[in-house]
Chains A and B, each alone.
Chain A
Amino acid sequence: MSTSTTAVGGRGTAQQTARGTLPGAWRLGLARGALEVKQFFRQRDQAVFTFAFPIVFLFLFASIFSDDVEGAGITASQLYVPAMIAAGIMATSFQSLGISIAIERDEKQLRRLRGTPMPPAAYFLGKVWLVLVTGLLEAAALLAVGTVFYGVDLPTDPGAWLRFGWIFLLGLTGCALLGIAVSSVPRSGQSASSVVILPFLVLQFISGVYISIDTIPSWMLNIGALFPLKWLAQGLRGVFLPESAAVLEQAGSWEYGRVALVLGAWCIGGLALCLMTFRWKSRRDG
């Protein structure tokens, strides 16, 4: 093989100090994001089922429970649309990251990355880009189903879309960080889906996704209120439901301030949790 004059310039002790600058985390994060999205869509069955899951659930719940909700001026079907958008955002971020990172760790892909000069932030940024793309697609698909079949009106007020923007971003980021953190819990890639899905299911019940807020015992709601999903769903109800539906909330209003506070706190706390607990190797590798 005729090879290799290119590498010679990079070596030799005289040049060691003169080796080029290390690429930045932001740029590498973008490159990783593109790669993550590419991989996600190439795993076709995973992509299809990740997207289909909340849509199927929306269809089931919104078709089974379609009566008018007394005193709120909406139907139960309408109530399910923002709820399932919230669940969809959490599925694409928390659930899919929690499982996929556990598998990557188990397959030693993470350890390989750790052996390169890639900054850890680039890896996390790549994951954030991935869930931004998939989360946005999921939300758009659910919203399309909701407006076409279940009588949800898209807001015309730019202020409502602005609210959707920050609720989406804060909720997605918080759930993504929580997902990255939870990926360290399962002992192997195989057990990851069981470990991640159970708490997610419980959270969906006690956060008013499957069952309307006003029928859940308040002690359960109070536990749910510690986590981002309840606030994500509540904020999205505020965006997509008429003002009259606010009476169904625990506080009788959408509480945007508190939504921002809890979701923001999860972004910061989740980041701290990730930085403290993230492991590049599985426990078996020590």
Chain B
Amino acid sequence: MTELAVNVSGLRKRYGDVTAVNGLDLAIRPGEVFGILGPNGAGKSTTVEILQGHRSRDAGEVSVLGADPASGDRRWRSRVGIVWQDESAPAELTVRETVTHFARYYPTPRDPSEVISLVGLQEKAGKRIKALSGGQRRRLDVALGVIGAPELLLLDEPTTGFDPAARRRFWELIRLLADEGATIVLTTHYLEEAEALADRLAVVAAGRVVAEGTPAQLRQAHGVEATVAWTDPDGTARSLVTDTPTRTVAGLMRRFDGEIPDLTVTRPSLEDVYLGLIGQRQLQSATATEGETR
């Protein structure tokens, strides 16, 4: 299988004076769970809306399931599931009525009752949508996104506003869909979400991809330095950021007789890498490494 599920190169989009997407490239393979991670305003939503076929672009090549989303036909739409960032469903209909109705639009839909219980709304199935809580509506959005059994699911910040339990539950759902073979593209500004779900990640800042790879690759490529910390005999906390922590520890072993007080060797977390990539490293390190002896 050589064809990419999503192939984007040189994507550009401006709104007036503001450049939202500035030469963005993506290559997403079929069956992959792909996370687009970035701060607010980085161009994630604009990118996903262009992939959905709901926003025009100024420049660049975009192919989604082998077609240009700007001219996607009904058949193409039936293969793509969408969960938007902000949604509204007909308030006066019940959950079951809505999901059952949307299933009719698709050639090979999933079973509506199955989808309703998949998103954990089985107890609310007979309730009108206007009576649902925000989190429950969000789950309905997800149900409507997957009812058509899409080959590609595009989710724009799907768990914003979820409580931690609902988020875990949503993650389970995404893993389940991924296990069935769907390609999943989601944007998020929650790092732990990207790390928990995504096979691969693209970190987006200022409208372009600043790093791409598996979470482990990102850590390796962009966070090689480790921090060695200990306490000196006079009680001063010390830390050293170094490429060669083993050598540092060996040196400390010679200085100290026996145990090195409070010794820790830490590799940067994905969050450190991420913050560094989106240009907030200075801010972060200023507070985190007091007493540095570099």
Asked whether, in the complex, the Cβ of A38 is within 8 Å of the Cβ of B93, the reply is yes
> What total of A-B pairs shows CB separation below 8 Å?
111
In the complex, B75 has a CB within 8 A of chain A: yes
Asked whether, in the complex, the Cβ of B151 is within 8 Å of the Cβ of A16, the reply is yes
- Closest B residue, CB atoms, query A280: B54
A1-38 residues at the B interface, CB under 8 angstroms: 1, 3-4, 6-13, 16, 19-23, 28, 31-32, 35, 38
Which residues does chain B contribute within 8 Å of A10, judged by CB atoms? Answer: 108, 110, 149
With beta carbons under 8 angstroms apart, the residue of B101, B104, B105, B181 that contacts A12 is: B181
Asked whether, in the complex, the Cβ of A108 is within 8 Å of the Cβ of B88, the reply is yes
Asked whether, in the complex, the Cβ of A116 is within 8 Å of the Cβ of B148, the reply is yes
Asked whether, in the complex, the Cβ of A7 is within 8 Å of the Cβ of B89, the reply is no
User: Which one of B76-84, B246-254, B265-273, B279-287 contacts A?
Assistant: B76-84
Which residues does chain B contribute within 8 Å of A111, judged by CB atoms? Answer: 54, 84
Asked whether, in the complex, the Cβ of A116 is within 8 Å of the Cβ of B84, the reply is no
Asked whether, in the complex, the Cβ of B149 is within 8 Å of the Cβ of A11, the reply is yes
Asked whether, in the complex, the Cβ of B181 is within 8 Å of the Cβ of A11, the reply is yes
User: Interface residue tally of chain B, by bracket?
Assistant: 35 or more
Asked whether, in the complex, the Cβ of A19 is within 8 Å of the Cβ of B78, the reply is yes
Which residues does chain A contribute within 8 Å of B88, judged by CB atoms? Answer: 107-109, 112
In the complex, A43 has a CB within 8 A of chain B: yes
Asked whether, in the complex, the Cβ of B104 is within 8 Å of the Cβ of A109, the reply is no
Asked whether, in the complex, the Cβ of B105 is within 8 Å of the Cβ of A116, the reply is yes
Interface flags, A29-64, vs B, CB<8A=1, else 0: 001100100110011000000000000000000000
| Given A1-B117, A7-B149; A31-B104 close (CB under 8 Å) | yes
With beta carbons under 8 angstroms apart, the residue of B90, B92, B107 that contacts A22 is: B107
| Given A9-B108, A42-B92; A117-B77 close (CB under 8 Å) | yes
Task: Report the bound CA distance from A116 to B102 in whole Å.
Answer: 8
With beta carbons under 8 angstroms apart, the residue of B55, B104, B128, B181 that contacts A23 is: B104
Which residues does chain B contribute within 8 Å of A22, judged by CB atoms? Answer: 74-75, 78, 107
- Closest A residue, CB atoms, query B181: A11
Asked whether, in the complex, the Cβ of A23 is within 8 Å of the Cβ of B180, the reply is no
- Min CB distance B172 to A, Å, is 8
With beta carbons under 8 angstroms apart, the residue of B105, B149, B176 that contacts A117 is: B105
Asked whether, in the complex, the Cβ of B110 is within 8 Å of the Cβ of A6, the reply is yes
In the complex, A230 has a CB within 8 A of chain B: no
- Closest A residue, CB atoms, query B101: A35
Which residues does chain A contribute within 8 Å of B74, judged by CB atoms? Answer: 22, 117, 119
Which residues does chain A contribute within 8 Å of B176, judged by CB atoms? Answer: 1, 3-4
In the complex, B182 has a CB within 8 A of chain A: yes
Interface flags, B111-150, vs A, CB<8A=1, else 0: 1001001100000000010000000000000001000110
In the complex, A197 has a CB within 8 A of chain B: no
With beta carbons under 8 angstroms apart, the residue of A1, A6, A281 that contacts B54 is: A281
In the complex, B68 has a CB within 8 A of chain A: no
5 extra interface residue pairs, beta carbon distance < 8 Å, beyond A7-B149, A12-B181, A119-B74 = A3-B117, A4-B114, A10-B108, A22-B75, A117-B75
Residue pairs across A and B with Cβ atoms less than 8 A apart, 23 shown, are: A4-B114, A4-B176, A8-B181, A9-B108, A13-B1, A19-B107, A22-B74, A22-B78, A23-B104, A28-B105, A31-B101, A35-B93, A35-B97, A39-B93, A42-B128, A43-B92, A107-B88, A108-B88, A109-B90, A112-B88, A114-B54, A117-B78, A118-B105
Could you list which residues of chain B lie within 8 angstroms of chain A, going by C-beta atoms? 1, 15, 30, 52, 54-55, 74-75, 77-80, 82, 84, 86-90, 92-93, 97, 101-102, 104-108, 110-111, 114, 117-118, 128, 144, 148-149, 151, 176, 180-182
